[in-house]
């Protein structure tokens, strides 16, 4: 549609068409025909926002001091809390004034970051399977998105990027635990990434919204590595750990120049998130760690229910170690979009077709663990039957 739109800019026309709209139409059609659809196609947490955070917002809404525009100084307390949280967790002290910035979600931060640090014609390296918004954000910024092939371990093979692309590349965007593959990265991986980035003078962007969604091992933060602060920026979100997706809150930490450029790019666009929502964020970062862990256990139970149902039905899936997703390679070169449409129509299960995540996603589908365990198990059995 966009491609025929007289008023759309070249950059908007260059944005990939969304297969998720196709899925949305298929779901609506199935529902209109009276079918109940188990929707596992969208990765939005369905758990409740902690009551304390809602109470914080209620009281903030009654406080006139929160009603006005919120310039940088009004984000100060939130950024101090973000820096303290990071220091408690990773032992590195950051300056909330110059090395932190408040975001209206990690997605907003990433899109503006690309505009802030690269010029049209330059390139951004993105793993060939990635969160869809990275591709759209690259197009919007007039950048060439260079897909980086994944290895067997689902981590990017940086050495496979052609030299000619590297010459124009300005930054590398990564995300672990990963959406959609559930891949996790350790510090040894990040050491290699930083060495590569230094060799090619790249800014490393780590989009880290699943930092708490870990079932085995622990999520890491590359910012703590030696030299990382010279060329790394990390984006954090309240959407997954605290189920606050609709409230739109996140923050960036890292290299002061990249933060300053991002702040400058955001200035003509927004006045920061509503102060009452920032107060929710402060309260969230102060919650005892076991509150977040309790919810992570819920997702672990869901993961187990889905994996076990599919394994019992003869589908060879392995247990994701982290994130809210199961990434399944379809057998016999099946087409992911056709399979996902047929799953809605014949199995009453909505999944995300892999190609929506980039060129490497063809032939895969993603399950989001956003239903109770018994519903996920039922969905798993139905999909297994359809694969049969």
Helix (H, G, I), strand (E, B) or coil at 208: coil
Q: How far is the CB of 157 from ligand PLP (least distance, A)?
A: 20
- Interface map 155-184 toward ligand PLP (x if CB under 6 A): --------------------x---x-----
Contact indicator for 100, 79 with CB cutoff of 8 Å: yes
Give the DSSP H/E element, type plus range, for residue 251. strand 250-254
Binding segment for ligand PLP among 6-14, 21-29, 102-110, 332-340 (CB under 6 A)? 102-110
The pair phi, psi for residue 257, each rounded to 5°, is: -70, -40
* Site for ligand PLP contains 239 (CB under 6 A): yes
> What is the C-alpha to C-alpha distance for residues 113 and 117, in angstroms, rounded to an integer?
6
> What is the C-alpha to C-alpha distance for residues 248 and 64, in angstroms, rounded to an integer?
21
- Interface map 42-81 toward ligand PLP (x if CB under 6 A): -x--------------------------------------
Q: Which residues pair with 207 in a beta bridge?
A: 235
Give the DSSP H/E element, type plus range, for residue 127. strand 123-127
Site for ligand PLP in 117-156 (CB under 6 A): 131
Q: Other C-beta atoms within 10 Å of 136: how many?
A: 18
Q: Other C-beta atoms within 10 Å of 33: how many?
A: 8
On the CB side of 330, CA atoms within 13 Å amount to 25
Q: How far is the CB of 8 from ligand PLP (least distance, A)?
A: 24
Binding segment for ligand PLP among 103-111, 254-262, 276-284, 348-356 (CB under 6 A)? 103-111
Contact with ligand PLP (CB under 6 A) among 99, 237, 255, 273: 237
Contact with ligand PLP (CB under 6 A) among 50, 96, 105, 276: 105
* Site for ligand PLP contains 245 (CB under 6 A): yes
Contacts of 234 (CB under 8 A, 6+ apart): 205, 206, 207, 208, 221, 222, 223, 252, 253, 254
* Site for ligand PLP contains 107 (CB under 6 A): yes
Helix (H, G, I), strand (E, B) or coil at 363: coil
Contact with ligand PLP (CB under 6 A) among 106, 221, 232, 255: 106
> What is the C-alpha to C-alpha distance for residues 88 and 47, in angstroms, rounded to an integer?
26
Closest CA to 41 of 322, 386, 347: 347
Site for ligand PLP in 314-353 (CB under 6 A): none
* Site for ligand PLP contains 250 (CB under 6 A): yes
Nearest residue (beta carbon) to ligand PLP: 105
* 102 versus 107: smaller Cβ distance to ligand PLP: 107
Binding segment for ligand PLP among 81-89, 196-204, 237-245, 256-264 (CB under 6 A)? 237-245
Residues of the shown chain interacting with ligand PLP in the complex, contacts defined by CB under 6 A: 43, 105-107, 131, 175, 179, 207, 209, 237, 239, 245, 250
């Amino acid at each position: 549609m966009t491609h025929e739109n007289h008023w759309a800019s070249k950059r908007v026309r260059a944005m990939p068409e969304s297969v998720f709209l196709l899925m949305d139409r298929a779901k609506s059609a199935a529902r209109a025909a009276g079918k109940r659809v188990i929707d596992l196609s969208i990765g939005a947490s369905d758990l409740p926002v902690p009551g304390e955070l809602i109470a914080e917002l209620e009281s903030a809404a009654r406080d006139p001091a929160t009603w006005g525009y919120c310039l940088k100084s009004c984000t100060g307390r939130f950024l101090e809390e973000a820096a303290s949280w990071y220091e408690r967790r990773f032992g590195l002290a950051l300056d909330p004034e110059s090395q932190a910035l408040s975001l209206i979600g990690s997605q907003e931060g990433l899109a503006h970051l690309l505009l802030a640090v690269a010029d049209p014609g330059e390139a951004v390296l993105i793993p060939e399977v990635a969160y869809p918004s990275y591709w759209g954000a690259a197009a919007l910024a007039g950048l060439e998105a260079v897909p980086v092939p994944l290895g067997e371990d689902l981590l990017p093979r940086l050495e496979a990027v052609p030299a000619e692309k590297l010459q124009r590349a300005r930054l590398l965007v990564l995300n672990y635990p990963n959406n959609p593959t559930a891949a996790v990265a350790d510090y040894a991986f990040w050491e290699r990434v930083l060495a590569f980035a230094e060799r090619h003078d790249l800014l490393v962007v780590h989009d880290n919204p699943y930092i708490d969604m870990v079932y085995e091992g622990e999520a890491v933060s590359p910012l703590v590595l030696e030299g990382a602060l010279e060329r790394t920026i990390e984006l954090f979100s309240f959407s997954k750990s605290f189920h606050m997706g609709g409230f739109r809150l996140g923050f960036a930490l890292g290299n002061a120049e990249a933060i300053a450029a991002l702040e400058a790019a955001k200035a003509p666009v927004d006045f920061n998130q509503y102060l009452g929502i920032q107060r929710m964020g402060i309260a969230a970062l102060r919650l005892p760690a076991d509150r977040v862990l309790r919810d992570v256990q819920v997702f672990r139970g869901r993961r187990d229910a889905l994996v076990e149902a599919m394994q019992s039905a003869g589908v060879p899936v392995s247990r994701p170690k982290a994130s809210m997703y199961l990434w399944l390679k379809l057998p016999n070169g099946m087409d992911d979009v056709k399979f996902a449409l047929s799953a809605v129509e014949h199995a009453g299960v909505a999944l995300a077709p892999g190609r929506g995540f980039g060129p490497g996603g063809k032939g895969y589908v993603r399950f989001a663990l956003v239903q109770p365990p018994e519903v996920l198990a039922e969905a798993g059995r139905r999909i297994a039957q359809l694969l049969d």
